[in-house]
A and B are shown apart, each in its own frame.
Chain A
Amino acid sequence: MIQPRRKRALMGFGLALFLVTVAAGQDGKSVDQSNRAIERSSKVYIAPIEGGFDTFLAAAIIKKQVPVVVVTDRAKAEYEISGIANTERAGWAKMLFMGVDNSNDMASIKVVYLKGDEVVYGYSVKKGNSYRGKQSAAEACAKHLKEKIEGK
């Protein structure tokens, strides 16, 4: 027979494990700023992002088959993607204690509907110990953008 006090402690521990499992599965956060949906085959312009991340994002959009058309002229676009990206190289301590030299990559994008001047989607991602660097972060952004467009 389990004592009530011990039973409560164990239930609390079980709940904590559940919450940790949930938290561990998430490495990115998306935010819907408005109810406006991004239509399929919309024309999207990717603004220059420091470090050339815009090119990685264009490649990721094509690789992940995001149903949009990327254009090079902002005047022809219906939506604009802008954002920031940052890469942190592995330091000596990480190499020594973890045995890896993969970088930590962070990126954040927002999608703006140009005619209405409203933010329709935003996404941030942090890839700790990323093997492919900016490519990984860009593909995460593209994947979640696709899910937004497909209504998932």
Chain B
Amino acid sequence: MRYMKLIAVPLLLGVTVYGRPTRSQEKQSEPTQQTKIPAHAKVYIAPMGGFETPLKKAIADKKVPIEIVEQREQSEYEITGTSDSKKASTAKKVIMGSWHSDEDASIKVASLKSGEIVYAYAVHKQDSAHGQKSTAEACAKHLKDEAVAAK
């Protein structure tokens, strides 16, 4: 019994000193540049290696209250971003039994007047059934819910 204490005490010490207890409440930090995009603002979507097309469609499908313009000079905000699709490898198809791709996408919205980034969002979709459509719709949905001011 005594020798069990010699093992247990250092082990418990390591866990309690370096363990990370979950916090029930996060400390509120100062607000950053989270100013809302006004409804019906003119937004330009920069080329993103093909991701801009599903993103434009998703913005329309999700009825995000912004106006997409084709000329950067006419816009008040610009959306830039990146997208990455990883098709299922043969090993994944055989071993995991899944042929769906893994999708990553990230967008940021910048005010062309102030040069500040007013919103940014990143999404990861494991085994995405609809590919870039899923990530584009996730970006559009969060853009509508979090970034754009209500009408």
A→B interface (CB under 8 Å): 2, 6-7, 10-11, 13-15, 17-22, 25-26, 40-41, 51-52, 55-56, 58-63, 65-73, 76, 89, 91-92, 95-96, 99, 101-102, 131-135, 138, 146, 150
CB-defined contacts of B122 to chain A, threshold 8 Å: 55-56, 59-60, 63, 134-135, 138
Q: Beyond A69-B32, A71-B116, A101-B96, is A55–B81 a contact (Cβ under 8 Å)?
A: yes
Find residues 107-144 in chain B having any chain A CB closer than 8 Å to their own CB: 107-108, 110, 115-117, 119-124, 126
One of A15, A73, A96, A135 near B95 (C-beta < 8 A): A96
The residue from B11, B32, B108, B115 contacting A66, defined by CB atoms under 8 A apart: B32
State the CA gap A14–B19 with chains docked (Å).
17
Does A41 contact B6, Cβ atoms closer than 8 Å?
Answer: no
Contact A61 B13 (CB under 8 A): no
| Nearest CB of A to B36, in Å | 13
B10-23 to A contact mask, C-beta < 8 Å, 1/0: 11011101111000
Contact residues of A: prevailing secondary structure: helix
* Binary interface encoding of chain B residues 92-107 relative to chain A, with 1 for a CB under 8 A from any of its CBs, else 0: 1001100000101011
Q: Point out residues on B near A: beta carbons under 8 Å.
A: 2-3, 6-7, 9-11, 13-15, 17-20, 29-34, 80-84, 86, 89, 91-92, 95-96, 102, 104, 106-108, 110, 115-117, 119-124, 126
Identify the closest chain A residue to B11 (Cβ). Answer: A17
**Nearest 9 CB-CB pairings of A with B:** A52-B82, A21-B14, A92-B91, A59-B122, A59-B120, A18-B10, A14-B10, A55-B106, A132-B124
Residues of A within 8 A of B13 (CB): 18
Give which listed residue, B2, B19, B126, contacts A2 with CB less than 8 A: B2
24 A-B contact pairs sorted by A residue (CB < 8 Å): A2-B2, A10-B6, A13-B6, A13-B7, A14-B10, A17-B7, A18-B14, A22-B14, A22-B18, A25-B19, A55-B120, A55-B122, A58-B106, A59-B106, A59-B108, A59-B120, A61-B120, A62-B34, A63-B122, A67-B32, A69-B33, A71-B116, A134-B122, A138-B122
Given contacts A14-B6, A17-B11, A18-B11, contact A56 B29 (CB under 8 A): no
Question: How far is the CB of A70 from the nearest CB of chain B, in Å?
Answer: 4
**How many Å from the CB of A50 to the closest CB on chain B?**
11
Question: Which of B82, B116, B121 is close to A70, meaning CB atoms less than 8 Å apart?
Answer: B116
| Neighbour of A15 across the interface among B10, B92, B119, CB < 8 A | B10
**Which residue of B is nearest A89, CB measured?**
B86
